[in-house]
């Protein structure tokens, strides 16, 4: 696999751009994401994560994502998102995941540090990099949510956490939420700046779907080097399915039925990659 290693993440932070991690649930979404990345010529992360396993099954979805990454014409990593179980992390590392996220936000700081340190030890031994988080990020990963952000990342705790765990990337809570809520989300960029000064590792912004491009660009300039996108791909899938159902093709050919999903996913993913992950993203992101 021509994967995405941690150095690509560090380089993105240095260049003030961000890799985009797209959560996928099926083959059509995966194909759309890879085709988008190939069209731009930028690296990408396929996020086949814990919540998606409930839909597709761990081994089937992981195998699909790993196969797509292995045959992509651009660097493509496979990332385990929001794992809370060490056994699941171990299983995905054995399958060949290039990165994992351990979500210990429900634990005390001390227990989160202890558990994350062990995840880092095991993942690094397998050649994978690790993302982790301190404060939980509100909302539902698999459904659009009206919840507003509550917890935020404390810069001092973040500095201690990074120093004591050796984690490679840190997911921040700065007003962001999973899903697209009923009210506009405003990022606390002042807080992000303090976190960015406290830790030197790449930062990760969950809940990037639906955020104004200018705010995302500002966050990238302050150290965010990975963006998570899920909701916008689900919206693209839904609209493509409904449009096809309203105007069905003749016959029952699978390609005629499902190609619109691939195309819609590619369009949604390509817009994000061009805005924030391409080499010129630092100068074009705010106007995309």
Residue 147 above 70 pLDDT? no
Top pLDDT among 175 and 260 is at: 260
Per DSSP, what are the bridge partners of residue 103?
133
Is 241 a domain residue? yes
Structure confidence by residue, pLDDT tens digits, 215-255? 999 999 999 999 999 989 999 999 999 999 999 999 899 99
Looking at every residue in the chain, the average pLDDT score rounds to: 89
What is the pTM assigned to this prediction? 0.89
**What tokens were used for 7?**
């150095």
pLDDT at 141 over 50: no
What local confidence, expressed as pLDDT, does residue 140 receive? 40
What would the mean pLDDT of 254-262 be, rounded to a whole number? Answer: 95
Q: What pLDDT was estimated at residue 283?
A: 44
* Marked catalytic residue, from 81, 103, 142, 188: 81
Structure tokens at 49: 């994560």
pLDDT at 139: 41
Q: Does residue 81 have an active-site annotation?
A: yes
Interval 30-49: pLDDT, tens: 999 999 999 999 999 999 99
Structural domains counted in the chain: 1
Domain-located, residue 197: yes
Whether residue 91 has pLDDT greater than 50 = yes
What was the pLDDT predicted at 51? Answer: 86
CATH number of the CATH domain containing 98 = 3.20.20.70
Identify whether 74 is part of a domain: yes
Query: Taking residues 154-179, what's their average pLDDT?
Result: 90
Domain assignment present for 10:
yes
Of residues 51 and 74, more confidently modeled: 74
* pLDDT tier at 280, thresholds 50, 70, 90: low
Q: Across residues 115-139, what is the average pLDDT?
A: 88
More confident residue, 81 or 179: 81
Highest mean pLDDT among 102-111, 139-148, 273-282: 102-111
C-alpha pair distances (Å), 256 with each of 217, 241, 247: 37, 12, 11
Q: What are the residues facing 170 on neighbouring strands?
A: 132, 203
- Domain membership of residue 1 (yes or no) is no
Residue 65 within a domain:
yes
Mean pLDDT of 261-267: 98
Q: Would you place residue 151 in the very low, low, confident or very high pLDDT band (cuts 50, 70, 90)?
A: confident
pLDDT confidence bin for 281, thresholds 50/70/90? low
pLDDT of 210: 74
List the domain range (segments joined by +) for residue 105.
6-287
Mean pLDDT of 93-101: 98
Token pair for 78? 């496979």
Comparing 34 with 140, the larger pLDDT belongs to: 34
Give me the mean pLDDT over the 14-20 stretch. 96
The answer to whether position 278 is within a domain reads yes
* Residue whose structure tokens are 């814990």: 50
Query: Is residue 91 domain-resident?
Result: yes
Arithmetic mean of pLDDT, 52-71: 96
Lowest pLDDT segment from 105-119, 227-241, 269-283: 269-283
């Amino acid at each position: 696999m021509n994967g995405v290693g941690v150095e690509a993440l560090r380089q993105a932070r240095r260049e003030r751009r961000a890799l985009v991690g797209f959560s996928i649930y099926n083959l059509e979404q995966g194909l759309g994401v890879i085709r988008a990345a190939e069209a731009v010529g930028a690296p990408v992360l396929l996020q086949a994560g814990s919540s998606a396993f409930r839909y597709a099954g761990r081994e089937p979805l992981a195998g699909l994502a790993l196969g797509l990454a292995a045959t992509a014409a651009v660097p493509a990593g496979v990332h385990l998102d929001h794992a809370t179980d060490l056994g699941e992390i171990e299983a995905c590392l054995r399958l060949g995941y290039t990165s994992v996220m351990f979500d210990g936000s429900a634990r005390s700081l001390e227990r989160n540090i202890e558990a994350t340190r062990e995840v880092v030890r095991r993942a690094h031994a397998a050649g994978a990099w690790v993302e982790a988080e301190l404060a939980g990020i509100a909302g539902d990963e698999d459904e659009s949510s009206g919840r507003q952000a509550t917890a935020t990342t404390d810069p001092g705790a973040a500095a201690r956490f990074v120093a004591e765990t050796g984690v490679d990337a840190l997911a921040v809570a700065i007003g962001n939420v999973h899903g697209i809520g009923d009210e506009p989300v405003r990022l606390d960029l002042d807080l992000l700046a303090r976190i960015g000064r406290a830790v030197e590792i790449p930062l990760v912004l969950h809940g990037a779907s639906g955020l104004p491009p200018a705010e995302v660009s500002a966050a990238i300039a302050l150290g965010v080097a990975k963006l998570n996108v899920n909701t916008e791909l689900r919206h693209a899938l839904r609209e493509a399915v409904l449009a096809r159902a309203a105007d069905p093709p003749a016959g029952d050919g699978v390609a005629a039925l499902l190609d619109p999903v691939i195309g819609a996913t590619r369009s949604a993913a390509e817009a994000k990659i061009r805005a924030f992950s391409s080499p010129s993203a630092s100068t074009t992101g705010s106007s995309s």
